[in-house]
Amino acid sequence: MFRSLLYILFALANTAAFAQHSVERLPAPINTDDYDEICPVMSFDEEYLFYTKVGAPDYVKVLVEDGEDKSITLSNKEYQNRLRHIYSLISGRSITNPTTTSFNQDIWYSKLVEGKVHYPKHPGPPINNALPNSICSNYNKDNTFVVINQFGEEGGMNAGFSKVTFNNNTGTFSFPTPIEIKDLNLSGSDINLAMSADAQHIFLAMNSRDSYGDQDLYVCVRVMENLYSKPINLGSEINSRYREATPYISQDRTKLYFASNRPGGIGGMDIYVCDRLDYSYENWSTPRLIGQPINSIADDSHPYIAMDSNLMFFSTNRDGTSDIYTAKLIRDTVLNTKIQVNIQAINGVTNKPMTAVINWGDAYEEGYEDFFNSRDGKLLFTFEDTRPKKFMAENRRIKSQVELLDPLELVRDSITDVDLILTMTKSGDTKINIRKRRKKEELTPTIDGIEKELVNNKKVILKSIKFVRSKPDVLAESFPALEELASVLSRRSDLRIRVEGYTDNVGDKDLLLKLSQDRADAIKAILVKKGANVSQIETKGHGHKRALNGNRNEKERKANRRVEITILEQKEK
C-alpha cells in the first residue's frame, strides 16, 4: 500500500557571519533551466556529489507493485493513469501531470576531480524508481547514505528514511534498508534529515505537535543499529514561529546549519549557522545569519559544508528554478589581478551621457564610502582589494539602479576590463542588481549594437532573455536588454518588428507552441510598457520548430529556448 508521502523540501515555491567568496552556479547539465536541482550531498571522501532532480521527463519509470513492474506490464496510458492516481493519493490532491509534479524526484551523481564536477550519471533501480527519491545525508564515514522514504522489495512505499550503500566501482546502490525513529509523529508531509558523521545523532526538520511554528529542528540519539530515539525539540533558541528546514551538521559536529524564513533575513529562506555549546547536542548558540552573496532575496537552502569548513554547496532559486551553487565561506583577501571598471552614467530618457555624481562603496554595507562628480558621466574605477563594490549614479532627482560587482567573480571569469552603464531614471531603483558576469562575447549588445544588428542583419537573437521555468513570466535579469530594445523602437518609429518565441523539444508539442506564443506576447507587453508603439510589434510562437540544432543535450536545448527579433519593415525616414 502507498501511504503518506515524505518528500524532500526544496527551494520553496527563495551582518554576515562570514565574508564569503562570490557564489558560482554549477554548470549544465548538473543544473538545468527547466527543472529543479536540489539537496547537494558529497560522499565522505568528497569524490562524488549527489543531488536530486525534480520534475524532469527522463525519470526512472520502474513502478513495482506486488512484485510486478507496472512500467512494463501496463500500456503507456495505463501507466500514466496509475502514476497519476498514486501521486494523487499520497499528496491528498489531484495530480494531473505526474512528470512535472514535485513528487517526481530522482537521484543523480557526479564525480568530483579537484573540486570540479564531471558529467553526471543517472542510476537506475533500486535507488531510483517512479516514486520520490532523494539522498538527504551521509550515514557515516563510508559510502553509506540516508535516503527519503522506505520501500518494500515487492513494491510500495512508506513515510520514513532508509540507508543505502554506494558502490563506486560499479556506480550502483544497495536496496534501501529502513531506519526507524521512535514515536515519529508528523503532522505534515515535509521533513528533512541530517546525520552526524559518527551516525550517533539525527537532526530533523519537521512539524510536530510540540513545534513552535511552521516547522522546527529536532535531535534524535542512536539507540541501536538502525534505531533512534524520539525526536527532541531543540528549543526556542534555535526554533522560531516560522519555518526551520534543511539542517546540516558539520563533520566535526560543532556547527549546525539550517534554512529559515524568520524575520531579519535577506530574502525568503536564508541559511543560518549556530555553535554547539556542550556535549549534549541540545544546547546551541543563537543562530547567525550567513550574509550575502550566499543568501539572497530568493530562497536559499540545503547547505552542505566540505571537510575543509570552507567549500559550501547549497540550493537556491535566484535564477528562476532551483539550482545547485558553490561558495567559499572564507573569502580570499589578496587580489592578484588588476581589474578596471569603465563607468558611464546616461540619461534613461535620452540614453545620452549625462553629468552625474557617481557613488561607490562596500556592496553589503549601508551607504557609500566615496563619490566622484563627473561632468561627462564617466569614471575609471580600479579595484584595490577583493571586497565587492556597489555603484550608483545620480543627478538631482534622478538615480540609477544600484549595480554590484565582485572582483573575485570577475577574476574567476577571466574578466579584467568591465564596461558598466548606470542608467538614471526619474524614479530610480535602489534595489541592488548583482550583475552576472559573462564572457565578453556573451554580453548583451549595447543600444547602438542592437540597432546596428537589426538594421544590417534584419534579425537579433536576444540571448539574455530568461523566463520562469515552463511559464511566460520574464525574469528581472532580462529587463536591461528589453529596455535597450524598447529605446531603439521608441527612437526609430520607422522600424516594425516581429518577436518570435522558440522552445526546445521536451514536452507536449501543443503546450510548447502555446508557451512560445505566450512568451512572445509577454515580451511585446514589456516593450510597449517601456516606450515602444504597439503598432510596431507583431508576435509569433513557433514552439519546438525551427530548432538551431538536434536538441541532443542540455546545451543544445538551451540554445533552442530563445527569442528572436526580426525586422518586418523599415520605412524611409
What mean pLDDT do residues 417-422 have? 90
pLDDT for 139: 94
Choose among 279, 300, 282: nearest CA to 290. Answer: 300
Neighbours of 288 (CB within 10 A): 14
Measured in degrees and rounded to the nearest 5, phi and psi for residue 411 equal -60, -45
Measured in degrees and rounded to the nearest 5, phi and psi for residue 81 equal -65, -40
Task: Check pLDDT > 80 for residue 431.
Answer: no
Highest mean pLDDT among 50-54, 290-294, 329-333, 460-464: 50-54
Task: Check pLDDT > 70 for residue 519.
Answer: yes
Choose among 243, 364, 248: nearest CA to 295. Answer: 364
Full 3-state SS string of 205-254: EECCCCCCCCEEEEEEEEEECCEECCCEECCCCCCCCCEEEEEEECCCCC
Neighbours of 41 (CB within 10 A): 23
**531-565: pLDDT as tens digits:** 889 999 999 999 888 888 777 666 677 777 888 88
- C-alpha–C-alpha distance, residues 267 and 317, integer Å: 11
What mean pLDDT do residues 174-190 have? 81
DSSP-derived secondary structure letter, 475: P
pLDDT for 6: 37
Measured in degrees and rounded to the nearest 5, phi and psi for residue 481 equal -65, -40
Q: Contact 149/159 with Cβ under 8 angstroms?
A: yes
76: Cβ contacts below 8 Å, ≥ 6 apart: none
**Amino acid letter at 437?**
R
Taking CB atoms within 8 Å and a gap of at least 24, the contacts of 253-259 are: 253/196, 253/197, 253/198, 253/201, 253/281, 255/305, 256/203, 256/217, 256/284, 257/303, 257/305, 258/205, 258/217, 258/287, 258/303, 259/299, 259/300, 259/301, 259/302, 259/303
- C-alpha–C-alpha distance, residues 503 and 509, integer Å: 10
DSSP 525-550: HHHHHTT--GGGEEEEE-TT-S-SS-
**169-181: pLDDT as tens digits:** 999 999 999 999 9
Choose among 255, 240, 324, 252: nearest CA to 290. Answer: 255
- C-alpha–C-alpha distance, residues 149 and 78, integer Å: 25
**CA dihedral sign of residues 205, 207, 213, 214:** positive
Residue 271: pLDDT band by 50, 70, 90 thresholds? very high
pLDDT for 436: 44
pLDDT for 336: 87
pLDDT for 188: 52
476: Cβ contacts below 8 Å, ≥ 6 apart: none
Least confident of 2-16, 76-90, 145-159, 257-271: 2-16
Q: Which three cell numbers stand for residue 99?
A: 512528470
pLDDT for 447: 52
Task: Check pLDDT > 70 for residue 199.
Answer: yes
Residue 241: pLDDT band by 50, 70, 90 thresholds? very high
**349-400: pLDDT as tens digits:** 888 999 999 999 998 788 899 999 999 999 999 999 888 999 999 998 899 9
- C-alpha–C-alpha distance, residues 262 and 390, integer Å: 27
CATH 2.60.40.1120 assigned to 340-438: yes
Question: So where are the chain's domains?
Answer: 24-328, 340-438, 444-570
Residue 510: pLDDT band by 50, 70, 90 thresholds? confident
Share of the chain above pLDDT 70, in %: 87
What mean pLDDT do residues 216-245 have? 94
User: E-strand spans in 363-470?
Assistant: 370-374, 378-382, 389-395, 398-400, 402-405, 417-425, 432-434, 459-461
Averaged pLDDT of the chain = 85
pLDDT for 397: 83
pLDDT for 243: 94
Measured in degrees and rounded to the nearest 5, phi and psi for residue 540 equal -155, 130
**281-317: pLDDT as tens digits:** 888 999 999 988 899 889 999 999 999 889 999 999 9
CATH 3.30.1330.60 assigned to 444-570: yes
pLDDT for 461: 73
What mean pLDDT do residues 41-68 have? 94
Q: How many CA atoms lie within 13 A of 421 on its CB side?
A: 17
pLDDT for 474: 80
pLDDT for 59: 94
Task: Check pLDDT > 80 for residue 476.
Answer: no
**88-142: pLDDT as tens digits:** 988 888 888 988 888 899 999 999 988 789 889 999 999 999 999 999 999 988 8
Task: Tell me how far CA of residue 557 lies from CA of 5, 33, 439, 442, in angstroms.
Answer: 33, 10, 20, 17
* Cis status of the peptide bond prior to 126, with omega within 30 of 0: yes
pLDDT for 286: 94
pLDDT for 509: 82
Cα pseudo-dihedral 320, 324, 330, 335, rounded to 10 = -70
- C-alpha–C-alpha distance, residues 190 and 394, integer Å: 47
Neighbours of 437 (CB within 10 A): 19
537: Cβ contacts below 8 Å, ≥ 6 apart: 489, 496, 497, 498, 499, 524, 527, 528
Task: Check pLDDT > 70 for residue 35.
Answer: yes
174: Cβ contacts below 8 Å, ≥ 6 apart: 126, 164, 165, 167
pLDDT for 456: 65
Specify the fold of 24-328: Tachylectin-2; Chain A (2.115.10)
- C-alpha–C-alpha distance, residues 539 and 517, integer Å: 7
532: Cβ contacts below 8 Å, ≥ 6 apart: 485, 486, 489, 490
Is the pTM higher than 0.75? The answer reads no
Q: Which three cell numbers stand for residue 499?
A: 518577436
Q: Which three cell numbers stand for residue 479?
A: 529587463
- C-alpha–C-alpha distance, residues 522 and 450, integer Å: 20
pLDDT for 246: 96
- C-alpha–C-alpha distance, residues 55 and 104, integer Å: 5
Share of the chain above pLDDT 90, in %: 49
- C-alpha–C-alpha distance, residues 259 and 315, integer Å: 10
